[in-house]
Amino acid sequence: MRIKKKTIAGVAGLCLMLLASGCAMMPGGVAPSNIPIEGRRYTNLGRTAKSDSRFYLLGIIPLSGANTTRDAIDAAIRSKRGDALINITVESYSQWWIILTRIVTRVDGEVIRFE
């Protein structure tokens, strides 16, 4: 039985695409709060997680806006209409596809509102 050259080329191309894609997770940090809260009374509005990301073409040419921890924290606070974030954890991860790369910063924490 002979295998066609097109079939071999297709399988090789598929393997190359799988090898050219991937993901990597990097721990960020932990913080008690994003602003000083000592001595202030507050109500805990619940846990939330938000992210900010940026896409790159060929891993170097930016295609979208900035990827900042500050924007992810602000989005988390706005999601519950609060004033600050406590018990914060931050992590980053990267996703690679054939010609696109996505870098993501994810923030997790508890939203509070000052009384």
**Burial tier of 84 (Cβ tally within 10 Å: 0-12, 13-18, 19+):** buried
Retrieve residue 104's tokens: 């993501």
Residues 46-95 have pLDDT tens digits of 999 999 999 999 989 999 988 999 999 999 999 999 999 999 999 999 99
DSSP assigned state of 91:
E
* Contact indicator for 17, 48 with CB cutoff of 8 Å: no
Q: Identify each DSSP E strand in the chain by its residue range.
A: 22-33, 42-57, 61-62, 84-96, 100-114
Residues 23-49 have pLDDT tens digits of 777 777 899 999 999 999 999 999 999
